Structure 1
Amino acid sequence: MNQKLSAGLRTALCILLLALAYVLQTSLGLRISLFGMHIDLLPLVVAAAGIVMGPGAGLACGLAAGVLYDVSGAGIEGMYPFYYMICGIVCGLFRGRFNGREIRGTMLCSVCIITVLAVLRYLFYFQFGSTGILPFVRDMVLQALLAVVFSPLVLVIVRRISGRKKPKAAVLPPDA
């Protein structure tokens, strides 16, 4: 990618990546699953965009991811855009904490996004249905493991979109 791209164009490319990931994971012919769990790539893209490009891009990608979930009719209207916007902003705010260790930050943020959303879904459905805790925990752990496995791949793609190379590790001053 050309490093002269504007921040808006980079964010638009990330949103296009979100749309592509959404189409791949929801199309009937390409249901990607491991261990019986379907892979959810949208939280990974939101986390990577926030970590690599900052809170503004995280907000925009979070809004786009939430709208894509709302379009599918997967939950309460407006909840997903609000949730993913907050997640994208928080990931972007933690961007400085992971200098030189973006892969850890993306993995951690992805797992947190997926886990908190799973807990919210469980608490909501627990009121209206009878779902056991063990299947819920199993599914949540498997989703988190899949997020850890696929986060590096998504991070590499988002870095390419942002025009950044792998950051150099922070150099610590010698002890005096």
Structure 2
Amino acid sequence: MQREQLSIPKTLLYLVFALVFYALQASLFGTWSIRGYHLDLLPALVTAAALLDGPMEGVVVGVTVGLLYDVGFIGVDGLYPLFFLLFGLIAGAMSRLTLSGSYVSMLIMTAVEMVVLGLVRYFAYLLPQTGASFGLVLRQIVGGTLLTCVFCFVVYLPMRRISRRFADR
């Protein structure tokens, strides 16, 4: 079995891209509300890295996005890095076995990631802390997932360009 090599410059560009999106998420996107739903593109970064380049990049970007979530959002400390690490690993492995790095694959995996993330948030934080209604939370999860999938191209296109730029080297 051949060992996969991690491209340091490509990974650094992914991390800078994640920081830029985190800054946008925390400032600009965090204040926008479209019909009561908020745009969250950070999970799409993990999916794009994993599908375009494999499990190693998915794990690195996943841990970074998870740490950014821990820094900026309320929840159980350490849960987000673990969740995104595992998701990056699984999505990267699936990209090697069944899924391609196509946009349709990214939409499907991002939707799955957003739903699972919403359910993890609900059962780990919202239900024990606030006793939130599952129906209301499910409505927010589905609406946020659809909104994220509509704007996934904002993440996918630049990350695909970065991936292709370093694929030739």
**TM-score category, normalised to shorter length:** 0.7 to 0.9
TM-score w.r.t. structure 1 length? 0.82
Counterpart position of 1:135: 136
Stretches of structure 1 lacking an aligned partner (at least 5 in a row): 1-5, 165-176
Deviations 1:142-169 (A, max 9, x none): 11101221223311111111125xxxxx
Contact 2:59 2:86 in 1 (8 A): yes
Count of equivalent residues: 159
Query: Which of the pair is proportionally richer in helix?
Result: 2
Contact 2:46 2:84 in 1 (8 A): yes
Counterpart position of 1:105: 105
Identity over aligned residues, as a percent? 30
Counterpart position of 2:153: 152
Contact 1:55 1:89 in 2 (8 A): yes
TM-score w.r.t. structure 2 length? 0.85
Q: Indicate the structure (1 or 2) with the bigger Cα radius of gyration.
A: 1
Counterpart mapping for 1:14-163 below 5 A = 14-27=14-27, 31-96=31-96, 97-99=98-100, 102-124=102-124, 125-163=126-164
Stretches of structure 2 lacking an aligned partner (at least 5 in a row): 1-5
Contact 1:107 1:147 in 2 (8 A): no
Residues 62, 38 of structure 1: alpha-carbon distance in 2 compared, 3 angstrom cutoff: same
Give the aligned CA root-mean-square deviation in angstroms: 2.1
Give the C-alpha shift of residue 121 in structure 1: 1.5
Give the C-alpha shift of residue 128 in structure 1: 3.2
Residues 31, 129 of structure 1: alpha-carbon distance in 2 compared, 3 angstrom cutoff: closer
